[in-house]
A and B are shown apart, each in its own frame.
Chain A
Amino acid sequence: MMLNDLISKWRGSKKGSGQTAKQRLQCAIVYDNLEVSDDVLISLKKDIIDVLSKYFRIDSQAISLDIERSPDSSSLVLNTPILSTIRR
Chain B
Amino acid sequence: MEGKVIVITSGKGGVGKTTATASIGAALAKEGKKVAVVDMDIGLRNLDVVMGLENRVVFNIVDVVRNKCRINQAAIRDRRIDNLFLIPASQSDNKDSISPEEMVTVCNEFRKEFDFTLMDCPAGIERGFENAVAGADEAVVVCTPEVSSVRDADRIIGLLYAKKITPKLIVNRIIPSMVEKGDMLSHEDVVDVLSVDLIGLVEMDDQVIVSTNTGSPLVMNKESKAGVAFSRIAMRLNGQPDLPIDIPKSQEGFFSKIGRKIGIRK
Interface of A with B (CB < 8 Å)?
Answer: 1, 5-6, 9-10, 15-19, 21-22, 24-26, 28-29, 32-33
Q: Mostly helix, strand, loop or mixed at chain A's interface?
A: helix
Asked if A18 and B186 make an inter-chain contact with CB atoms under 8 angstroms apart, the answer reads yes
Docked Cα-Cα span, A22 to B185, in Å, equals: 7
Q: A16-B181, A16-B183, A29-B154 are in contact. Are A24 and B147 (CB under 8 A)?
A: yes
Asked if A32 and B155 make an inter-chain contact with CB atoms under 8 angstroms apart, the answer reads yes
Asked if B266 and A16 make an inter-chain contact with CB atoms under 8 angstroms apart, the answer reads no
Docked Cα-Cα span, A24 to B151, in Å, equals: 10
CB nearest neighbor in A for B154: A29
Asked if B263 and A6 make an inter-chain contact with CB atoms under 8 angstroms apart, the answer reads yes
- The tally of residues in B whose CB lies under 8 Å from a CB in A reads 23
Docked Cα-Cα span, A1 to B265, in Å, equals: 8
Taking CB atoms, residues of chain B closer than 8 Å to A17 are 182-183
Q: A1-B264, A29-B151 are in contact. Are A16 and B189 (CB under 8 A)?
A: no
Asked if A10 and B181 make an inter-chain contact with CB atoms under 8 angstroms apart, the answer reads no
B263: contacting residue among A5, A21, A25, CB under 8 A: A5
Asked if B220 CB lies within 8 Å of chain A CBs, one says no
A22: contacting residue among B154, B193, B266, CB under 8 A: B193
Taking CB atoms, residues of chain A closer than 8 Å to B192 are 22
Asked if B65 CB lies within 8 Å of chain A CBs, one says no
Tell me the chain B residues, 188-207 only, with Cβ under 8 Å from chain A: 189, 192-193
Asked if B263 and A32 make an inter-chain contact with CB atoms under 8 angstroms apart, the answer reads no
Q: Mostly helix, strand, loop or mixed at chain B's interface?
A: helix
- 25 inter-chain pairs at a CB distance below 8 angstroms, sorted by A residue, are A1-B264, A1-B266, A5-B263, A10-B263, A15-B182, A16-B182, A16-B183, A18-B145, A18-B182, A18-B185, A19-B189, A21-B146, A22-B185, A22-B189, A22-B192, A22-B193, A24-B147, A25-B147, A25-B150, A25-B185, A28-B147, A29-B151, A29-B193, A32-B151, A32-B154
A2 to chain B, nearest CB (A): 10
Asked if A18 and B179 make an inter-chain contact with CB atoms under 8 angstroms apart, the answer reads yes
Tell me the chain B residues, 141-199 only, with Cβ under 8 Å from chain A: 145-147, 150-151, 154-155, 158, 178-179, 181-186, 189, 192-193
Docked Cα-Cα span, A18 to B145, in Å, equals: 9
Q: A5-B263, A10-B262, A29-B154 are in contact. Are A21 and B179 (CB under 8 A)?
A: no
Q: Which of A5, A25, A29, A33 is most buried by chain B, counting CB atoms within 10 A of its CB?
A: A25
